[in-house]
Structure 1
Amino acid sequence: MTALLTADDAAFENLFPDQPFRINHALAGDPRLTLPAILQLVKALPRDRIEYNSGKAAVSQDPSSTPLVDLDPEEVVTQIETAGAWMVLKRVEHHPTYKALLEEVLESVARARGFRDVKRARFTDIQGFMFVSSPNSTTPFHLDSEDNFFVQIHGDKQFAIYDNTDRSIASEDQIEHAITKHRNLKFEDAYASRGTVNELKPGEGVFVPYIWPHWVKTKDSYSISLAITWKTPEVKRRNNLYVANSMLRDRGFPQQAPGVNPAFDAVKVAAVQTMALLAAPLRRSEGLRKVIRSLVLGKDANYYYRDKAKPKQVGM
């Protein structure tokens, strides 16, 4: 099998999965990753798999004041060159066409690295996130709860990644909030020296390790990008701890960071896993997913249903 995604052998040997590195890919001409195909995907996805807003956000954007756009999801795609918008289509692996695409990419990486299949390469819980952005749009400073091969399909992008291994950029409490409430982080100018800005063109990309903060900017053309993500068992366990800690903290019970009390951590992980198993059949319904998110993550967990710009207030 020809590798659809490649990097220097030394990068995989010496940096993966703890440090970022540049990658190359053969997806830029794939018909599944064009605007017409993405428009059909938008039509097929449930509404809670689509998030979008104005691309005129700040790197250090307050989520509560994120500027919106007065467009429907399909209009964002058809007018992307002039819409001034940023859009992410979440969990595209639920669509069989894109499930196949993600698996093709990671299978080729696994085989190229000498593994029999994706499971043995520790690519589990595979998910995909499609990004469609207008020219000169910003994705604010944030972190994500998975490892990520981020590939650029159309247009040029700046992708800046910041080292937070000593937790001086985002503390454990801030990481918990980003994973369970909203991904955005506050950006300080002092962080600049700890970041690497990657200039990405179609056919290029970057590996983003778990919870490494980053911001992204498009340039003078509209952009299409794809995040091919996965979670190892260790990452899933840590995310479960953040969810448990957040739920308990919201109910007035202060919590220690993951790893401080391993015995209690094990109890919390088991409880979250049990709740997830019980909720799994209910999550097939968009309405019930919305309710579950509110119960587990808080009243603002469904913030991405803010479709359009708020109407201007008419003076009295």
Structure 2
Amino acid sequence: MNTATDTANASRRASRAAPLASFAADIRRDLLDREPFTFRHRLLGHPALSLQNLGRAIPALPASQVYYSSGRLERGDDFDRAHVDHANGLSIEETIETIRTSDSYIMVRAAETDASFQPLFRELVSDVQELMRERRVGRVAHGATLYLFIASPGSITPFHIDRYSTILMQFQGSKEVTVFPAWDDRVMPSTVREGFVAHAGPRPIWDAQAEPLGTTFRFAPGDALHIPFVAGHHVRNGPGEVSISMSIIFNTDETRRMTQAMVLNERLRRLNLAPAPVGRNAWRDGAKAALWAAGARLARGLR
């Protein structure tokens, strides 16, 4: 394989591709859900991400969309329960006001619920769907959602995996994100990965021995990072400034099929069978997804 030639060919393809409103031309369109990579975004200075707007919008959102906790977490903590197990003892208004000094972490789900984020959300969805079309993995960004992350200096986001693809954009402060190979059983066993994706098993537990397998990306305002579907990762914010970042999450037709295949695997294991892990053979994964979809249609027809 000639890496220099591959890079040059990718660059030529990008120059011929349709321009994107929110993402700069250095985005690796060919690597979507194949590998993590950094690039530049064009959204610095967007009014929706101003401190004034965030201070207004976040407290106005339903409480079920706003999670906040202490930022003094460890990589192995349960990220999904941080707001319960590591509460910071403050209200959301107090947390926002003291975020520079209170060692706190705020995560907002579905920020597009607030009208100020709607134009930005539509622009990002349009760009993501253009990337999907070029990769031939679908035309609709299924379940697209915006997440906001506001964190005190030095805060840690514990290791976790997501059931979707992610593009993370930095607006203030700096951070380090360590991303691990999505389908490597040395990071987590396939049984754990598939059970978690199927909503039928425990969350993945951090194994410090897997740390050398990760790639650490350091980025600052204007930088963005693509985290592939089910790629484990953890985050450390920089020491000097409050970190403000936003991600758009989504599923492609391809990742939906892989989800279906993992759900089927989890059901087969309940029958004491040992199916081959998802992520190793595209043809086999596609057959499993088709089988699961056919079974689901049959079940609906019998109701």
TM-score range, shorter chain: 0.7 to 0.9
What is the one-letter code of the residue matched to 1:80?
I
218-227 or 261-270, larger mean C-alpha shift:
261-270
In the other structure, the counterpart of 2:43 is 27
Q: Is the 8 A contact 1:149 1:208 kept in 2?
A: yes
Q: Cα 1:114–1:37, aligned 2, differ >3 Å: closer, same or farther?
A: same
Structure 1: unaligned runs, 5 residues or longer? 275-316
Q: Is the 8 A contact 1:140 1:184 kept in 2?
A: no
In the other structure, the counterpart of 2:14 is none
Query: Residues of 1 paired with 2:98 and 2:150: CA distance?
Result: 11
Residues 44-83 of structure 1: pairs in structure 2 closer than 5 A = 44-62=60-78, 66-83=85-102
| Structure 1 SS opposite 2:171 | strand
Q: Is the 8 A contact 2:138 2:254 kept in 1?
A: no
Q: Which of residues 222, 226, 236 is equivalent to 1:203? A: 222
Q: Give the TM-score normalised by the residue count of structure 2.
A: 0.74
Q: How far has the Cα of 1:207 moved from its partner?
A: 0.5
In the other structure, the counterpart of 2:142 is 124
Q: How far has the Cα of 1:94 moved from its partner?
A: 3.0
Residues 247-266 of structure 1: pairs in structure 2 closer than 5 A = 262=288, 265-266=292-293
Query: Residues of 2 paired with 1:48 and 1:244: CA distance?
Result: 30
Residues 122-161 of structure 1: pairs in structure 2 closer than 5 A = 122-161=140-179
In the other structure, the counterpart of 1:173 is 191
Query: Residues of 2 paired with 1:61 and 1:126: CA distance?
Result: 27
Q: How far has the Cα of 1:2 moved from its partner?
A: 5.8
| Structure 2 SS opposite 1:74 | helix
Q: Which of residues 26, 29, 41 is equivalent to 1:12? A: 29
Q: Is the 8 A contact 1:6 1:109 kept in 2?
A: no
In the other structure, the counterpart of 1:289 is none
In the other structure, the counterpart of 1:227 is 247
Q: Cα 1:20–1:2, aligned 2, differ >3 Å: closer, same or farther?
A: closer
| Structure 2 SS opposite 1:230 | strand
In the other structure, the counterpart of 1:98 is 117
Structure 2: unaligned runs, 5 residues or longer? 1-18, 279-283
Q: How far has the Cα of 1:247 moved from its partner?
A: 8.9
Query: Residues of 1 paired with 2:258 and 2:53: CA distance?
Result: 35
Query: Residues of 2 paired with 1:211 and 1:102: CA distance?
Result: 23
Q: Which of residues 215, 218, 235 is equivalent to 1:216? A: 235
84-93 or 95-104, larger mean C-alpha shift:
95-104
Give percent identity, aligned residues only. Answer: 23
Query: Residues of 1 paired with 2:258 and 2:232: CA distance?
Result: 17
Query: Residues of 2 paired with 1:105 and 1:2: CA distance?
Result: 9
| Structure 1 SS opposite 2:211 | helix
| Structure 2 SS opposite 1:40 | helix
Residues 299-314 of structure 1: pairs in structure 2 closer than 5 A = none
| Structure 2 SS opposite 1:6 | coil
Q: Is the 8 A contact 2:138 2:252 kept in 1?
A: no
Query: Residues of 2 paired with 1:269 and 1:62: CA distance?
Result: 32
1:160-210 CA deviation, whole Å, 9 max, x = no partner? 101132332122332245443799532233222211111110000110100
Q: Is the 8 A contact 1:5 1:109 kept in 2?
A: no
Q: Which of residues 181, 201, 225 is equivalent to 1:163? A: 181
Count of aligned positions: 269
| Structure 2 SS opposite 1:5 | coil
Query: Residues of 1 paired with 2:110 and 2:261: CA distance?
Result: 22
1:233-270 CA deviation, whole Å, 9 max, x = no partner? 23234445656877998xx7667566688376235644
Once superposed, what is the RMSD of the aligned Cα atoms? 3.5
Q: Cα 1:100–1:161, aligned 2, differ >3 Å: closer, same or farther?
A: same
Query: Residues of 2 paired with 1:206 and 1:98: CA distance?
Result: 20
| Structure 1 SS opposite 2:167 | strand
Query: Residues of 2 paired with 1:54 and 1:268: CA distance?
Result: 44
